[in-house]
Structures are given as C-alpha cells and as structure tokens.
Amino acid sequence: MTMTADYTETLKKIKELEDASNKTLAERRRALEEQLRQLEAESADSINDAKKKAEGLISERVGQARESANKEAGEISSVAEKEAGAMASKKLGKKELKKVIDDVLFSEFE
C-alpha cells in the first residue's frame, strides 16, 4: 500500500504543480495582453500626434507658398504696370504711327 500511497501522492504533487503552472501562465498572459493594449493605445496617440503635426506643417508650407506667389504676382504686376506706363507715354512719330495703323488695318484684309 505504501507504493500506491506514494504513487497517489506523486500524482497529487504533479497536479498541484500543473495547476500552479497554469495559474502562472494565465496571469502572465493577462499581464502581456494588458501591456499590448497599452502599447496599442500609445501608438494610436503617437500616430494622431504625428498626423496633427504633419497637417500643421502642410498648412504652414501652403501659407508660405501662397505668400510667395502673391509677392511674385505683385512684382510681376508692378513691372507690367511700369512697362505699360512707359509704352503709353511714348510718342510715336508720323512714320511709326502710319506703320502701326497700316499693320492694324491691313492685317484684317490679309
């Protein structure tokens, strides 16, 4: 009977160790799952922050490009206005005036 008792006792110890191992594994799994959830939340926050920063940079660059384009358009307009004023104030001699009139009038009959 001692052998049977020893065998039964050994089986009980094995079962206790198995239960303890299963409990430890379950606790570890729950801890890892919680850690994973926290990492997912942190990465989502990080992604959102990066998106907001990128949108801000895009808005800033668009504003700078718009400002630059407006400045360039203003400069072009100023130059064109000066050139138009210079052309308007330029006096044409009779010969040049006749050539312009001939070009304009006779260009329609060609």
Domain ranges of the chain: 2-107
Cβ-in-10-Å burial (0-12, 13-18, 19+) of 106 comes to: exposed
Report the C-alpha gap between 27 and 37 in whole angstroms.
15
Half-sphere exposure of 85 (CA within 13 A, CB side): 6
pLDDT digits (tens, 9 = 90+) for 31-77: 999 999 999 999 999 999 999 999 999 999 999 999 999 999 999 98
Quick one: pLDDT band at residue 110, thresholds 50, 70, 90? low
Write the CA distances from 9 to 5, 6, 15, 21, 47, integer angstroms. 6, 5, 10, 18, 56
Report the C-alpha gap between 11 and 18 in whole angstroms.
10
Share of the chain above pLDDT 70, in %: 94
